[in-house]
Amino acid sequence: MNPTAETFNSKYIIGISFISALGGYLFGFDFAVISGALPFLREQFMLNAWWEGFLTGSLALGCIVGCLVAGKLADKYGRRPGLMLAAFIFAVSSIGIALSSGLTYFVIMRFAAGIGVGMASMLCPMYIAEISPAKVRGRNVAINQLTVVIGILITNLVNYFLADTGPDAWRWMFGLGVVPSVVFLVGVIWLPESPRWLLKDGQHDKAKIVLDKIGSPAFVETTLTAINKSLAGNQKQSYKAVFEKSVRPAVLVGVTLAVFQQFCGINVVFNYTSTIFESVGASLDRQLFETVTIGVVNLVFTLFAMWQVDKLGRRPLMLFGSLGLSVVYIILAFMLQNHYPAGMVSIFVLLAISMYAISLAPVTWVLISEIFPNHIRGVASSVAIVALWGAYFILVLTFPTLAKVLGTYGPFYLYAAICFLGFLFVKFKVKETKGQTLEELEDNLIRH
């Protein structure tokens, strides 16, 4: 064996990536649980269109706070403490939602859950990117998206089987969120701290110990040199540093992709499945069954994305997904407008989910986790993901009202146009990042 060759401890890397990515499961859980619970919550709290949107979107408002807190926390105290706090907040809020006695208390608790989800949604991909060698970074960060979709699928299955347990089924749907929260919290205890953060914090010996577990001596030496070079004389961690001229292009790309991932409209399908299928006459049982099929398709095509993201690259997947969604949405809108049977509508809903699952869903998170320089990755990631959750809030808040005014089909014509604009943005503004170390990407950013 060549002593100068870079080799990696793949089992160890994948193991800690999966543990960290359990935070994605929490994201998937709270993302999906509202879809199954909404038919019960409408009756429980007598929701009109505006309150239905606000109740759904209140999670995103908490996510924004969580991202802002996590960015500073991650840069000051490390990635692990932030992950542990996210798990604890989520566990407490899950119990709080289940015990809600009124709409105001429910929204407050869902906002609190959003803080935990927001922290996890920012820290998990960033942590995985920082402990992963360049050759497998895309696949490993996509593990986070895999746990998100597993969370969505399992939650939809649980919702489906709980639906017949009575009007308080929604309490069990939300309360069960405490289980993955505790599992995640216990798992994080065993994670090492990010070596890039340790070096930034001056803990060189600890960083070397972590890197020794990840790869060969050649990998450790190369990585230490590259990280120290990228951090030399560059210790700013404030939000002001995010908007400096040298990093502004990366921030613009990150924020735009984050907003596009939400305004593409797919999360309307995830969160308002019951509303969409109710508009074509589907029964409650059929509505909840559709959430399960969506979860299955989402999982299958996420696995495909993990397989291809480091082979095909980021750009080809994003271009295919954005243009494909634009076409599928136009067909779906036409079908909803003309009251096609639920079975026909289901085919194109699932086609849209598959397009999203192999492109915008995982690849956006991969790009956000890798395009920012080491010294501001925490705060820059939080800015991009705050934009993502802000866009999500606007999306889910407006859909019930838009559907009431324009018909359920109307918003999908708008989302089709947004997807086409997103395709143009990716084509002209997003560069390929596969196979490059985080430090090489930073050097390229500085040169350009």
Phi and psi dihedrals of 97, rounded to 5?
-65, -45
pLDDT per residue over 1-34, tens digit each? 455 556 778 888 899 888 999 988 988 898 789 8
In this prediction, residue 241 carries a pLDDT of 76
pLDDT higher than threshold 90 for residue 126: no
In this prediction, residue 82 carries a pLDDT of 92
> Would the pTM of this model clear 0.75, i.e. be above it?
yes
Please state, in angstroms and rounded to a whole number, the distance separating the CA atoms of residues 193 and 207.
8
- Percent with pLDDT over 70 in the chain: 95
Alpha-helix residue ranges (DSSP H) falling in 136-216: 137-162, 169-175, 178-189, 195-200, 204-214
Phi and psi dihedrals of 215, rounded to 5?
-150, -175
How would you label 18-48 residue by residue, b for 16+ Cβ within 10 Å and e otherwise?
bbbbbbbbbbbbbbbbbbbbbbbbbebbebe
Please indicate whether residue 48 or residue 421 has the higher confidence score (pLDDT). Answer: 421
The encoded tokens of residue 128 equal 């995985």
pLDDT per residue over 80-120, tens digit each? 999 999 999 999 999 999 999 899 999 999 999 999 998 99
pLDDT higher than threshold 90 for residue 242: no
Please state, in angstroms and rounded to a whole number, the distance separating the CA atoms of residues 104 and 121.
25
pLDDT higher than threshold 60 for residue 62: yes
pLDDT higher than threshold 90 for residue 173: yes
In this prediction, residue 1 carries a pLDDT of 45
Q: What is the mean pLDDT of residues 229-253?
A: 74
Domains and CATH numbers, the chain: 10-191+233-447 (1.20.1250.20)
pLDDT higher than threshold 70 for residue 182: yes
Kindly indicate the confidence band of residue 383, based on its pLDDT and cuts at 50, 70 and 90.
Answer: confident
In this prediction, residue 237 carries a pLDDT of 60
pLDDT mean across residues, the chain: 87
In this prediction, residue 445 carries a pLDDT of 54
Sign of CA dihedral 281, 285, 288, 289: negative
pLDDT higher than threshold 90 for residue 442: no
Kindly indicate the confidence band of residue 446, based on its pLDDT and cuts at 50, 70 and 90.
Answer: low
In angstroms, the Cα distances linking 384 to 69, 256, 379, 425 are 14, 8, 9, 16
In this prediction, residue 432 carries a pLDDT of 80
Please state, in angstroms and rounded to a whole number, the distance separating the CA atoms of residues 239 and 344.
48
Other C-beta atoms closer than 10 Å to the C-beta of 233 total 5
pLDDT higher than threshold 60 for residue 73: yes
The single residue listed with the structure tokens 């994003």 is: 318
| Beta bridge mates, 227 | none
Q: Please report how many Cα atoms fall inside a 13 Å half-sphere around the Cα of residue 370, on the Cβ side.
A: 33
In this prediction, residue 36 carries a pLDDT of 85
Please state, in angstroms and rounded to a whole number, the distance separating the CA atoms of residues 36 and 73.
34
Please indicate whether residue 97 or residue 438 has the higher confidence score (pLDDT). Answer: 97
The encoded tokens of residue 45 equal 């709290």
Q: Which residues contact 203 (CB under 8 A, 6 or more apart)?
A: none
Please indicate whether residue 333 or residue 238 has the higher confidence score (pLDDT). Answer: 333
Phi and psi dihedrals of 8, rounded to 5?
-135, 150
